[in-house]
Amino acid sequence: MRLFPKSEDFHQYFDASVQQILEAAELLHQMASQPDQSPALAKKIKDLEHKADGITHETMRKLDMTFITPFDREDIHLLISRLDDVIDNIDVAASHIVLYEIQTPLKDLEVLTALLRKAAKAVASAVITFRDPRHSKETMQEVIEINRYEDEGDQAHRAALANLFRNVKDPIQVIKLKDVFTDVENALDRCEDVANVLETVIVKNA
């Protein structure tokens, strides 16, 4: 009986983490357009976040036990951590929507969550193609797409804040909505962090 496994398929954990991100991003977009359903949708996102935490912890456990890894240990640790950061930020946004009792659809929030959903799909595609080094060009194309969505998110975030400060007079409501807009923009930033890790690993192993 071997005490330390010779190798481990870490890509299965990346794929599983991405699945939680995809589902959570979709649910958050639903929250933006159907705020009356927010408590139930936020609960589903929380469940996905807990599942993602479990995937992250299992990845770390396997990493400690595995002798041969498909690429640098530090990069495996960083990639699964950055994936976990994405869903953590989605969960924060969902929690704030419920906490702040946002009960009417907001066009600016729908725009931001739609971009996040697109970025999540690009992250999923990048992680899938990343499994096979022969598909590094496809992975890099998805990395470019993720960066583009993050740039669009920055622009949408600035526009949302401008509209907020221009049209909402209640300072408490301004604070609440500003937090939520920034939460979603932060999740987009974390998608870009995943893209940066993938790009770094590809370049290092080219």
| Predicted TM-score of the model (pTM) | 0.94
Structure token pair of residue 188: 């987009």
* CA–CA distance, 50 with 2 (Å, rounded to integer): 31
Q: What letter represents residue 195's amino acid?
A: A
Res. 12: pLDDT tops 80: yes
pLDDT digits (tens, 9 = 90+) for 154-190: 999 999 999 999 999 999 999 999 999 999 999 999 9
User: Class of 11-204 per CATH?
Assistant: mainly alpha
The structural domains of the chain, with segments of one domain joined by +, span 11-204
